[in-house]
Amino acid sequence: MNNPQLDTDGRLRHLLSIEGLPKKILNQILDTAESFVGVAEREVKKVPLLRGKTVCNLFFENSTRTRTTFEIAAKRLSADVISLNVGTSSQSKGETILDTVDNLIAMHADMFVVRHSQSGAAHFIAKHVPDHIHVINAGDGRHSHPTQGLLDLFTIRKYKPELHNLRVAIVGDVLHSRVARSEIHALTTLGVPEVRVIAPKTLLPAQVEKLGVHVFHDIKAGLKDVDVVMMLRLQNERMNGAMLPSAQEYFKTYGLTQEKLSLAKPDAIVLHPGPMNRGVEIDSSVADGAQSVILPQVTYGIAIRMAVMAILSGGQPSASQGSTSQGTGS
């Protein structure tokens, strides 16, 4: 079956979902991102790989962090960047999503970064654009958020390079989280032997075990001896009805505290895709503690998004353009 994300030679054409991408492509993105980490430490934080290209950020749903890191990533690759505030654009006047895209193509756009509340929106646009234009999914509904999954995986690999020995726990609102789905597909594709999901039954998808994960409802049992703890934000805006008794009760049962974290391995790392609800999903002492790698996640997100754009445009950094910066464990 044809993978719409790959061209006829098996190279990345669009990044729409981690599901279905071969291990080789995931490693290519992670390895390319490694070469971009050092760019941020330079006096001039730019490489010329996308010079003359135009990247359009189409955010039909708000996201300050994702939008900003995509914009920074494109500018560091020397691209021209157009960030469309769709809420105040022609979309609000009745223009269709494809009309918006067609107008930008007529203005010689080369790449679209798309975030939308409807699952499949980026796939829909990718089917419509000409072959020379690339589409990156920056999050669609509950479906997928591939660059977030990749930057989380990159962060894990920096601190825990032996992926084949890891035990990873994903905690919280798995049901509504596109990040969780991308994360699970990325971890299992790259050979992480045990991925756990920890959540109340109301916040887990039906038959989630089919994704190859171990299900826990008791956080203390689920965190026992894990190497990585990935906390998820409660997606209140996507919940229908009362799926939880209260935020306070949720924190008491599933919020990550120092006491609960002590059940994981002593050198376990803690991630959170953000934005964090302190005192709901995670205690401030953990979020700001020695085992937290939440801020490095944001930094690595720029390198990952640079890597995806560079690969899609056919550019690869040379030794002089990118420099490798090795992380250290906490």
**What are the residue ranges spanned by the domains of the chain?**
23-144+301-312, 146-296
57/107 Cα distance (integer angstroms) = 14
pLDDT at 93: 57
Q: Domain 23-144+301-312 adopts which CATH fold?
A: Rossmann fold (3.40.50)
For the stretch 315-328, pLDDT in tens is 666 544 554 444 44
Phi, psi of 200 (to 5 degrees): -65, 155
Residues 73-80 have a mean pLDDT of 97
- Give the pLDDT confidence score for residue 247 in this predicted structure: 82
Instruction: Give the model's pLDDT for residue 64.
Output: 83
CATH of 146-296, one of 3.40.50.300, 3.40.50.1370, 2.30.130.40, 1.10.3720.10: 3.40.50.1370
Query: What is the average pLDDT across 192-196?
Result: 98
Burial 80-119 (b: 16+ CB within 10 A, else e): bbbbbebeeeebeeeeebeebbeebbeeebbbbbbbbeee
Quick one: what percent of the chain has pLDDT higher than 90? 73
Phi/psi at 178 (5° precision): -70, -30
Measured CA to CA, the distance from residue 325 to residue 330 in angstroms comes to 16
Higher-confidence residue: 85 or 61?
61
Nearest CA to 274 out of 290, 289, 259, 293 is that of 293
**For residue 1, pLDDT beyond 60:** no
Alpha carbon 52 to its chain centroid, in Å, reads 27
Q: What is the pTM of this model?
A: 0.90
Alpha carbon distances (Å) from 119 to 61, 96, 170, 178: 12, 16, 22, 9
Is 23-144+301-312's fold the same as 146-296's?
Answer: yes
Task: Give the residue-averaged pLDDT of 195-207.
Answer: 94
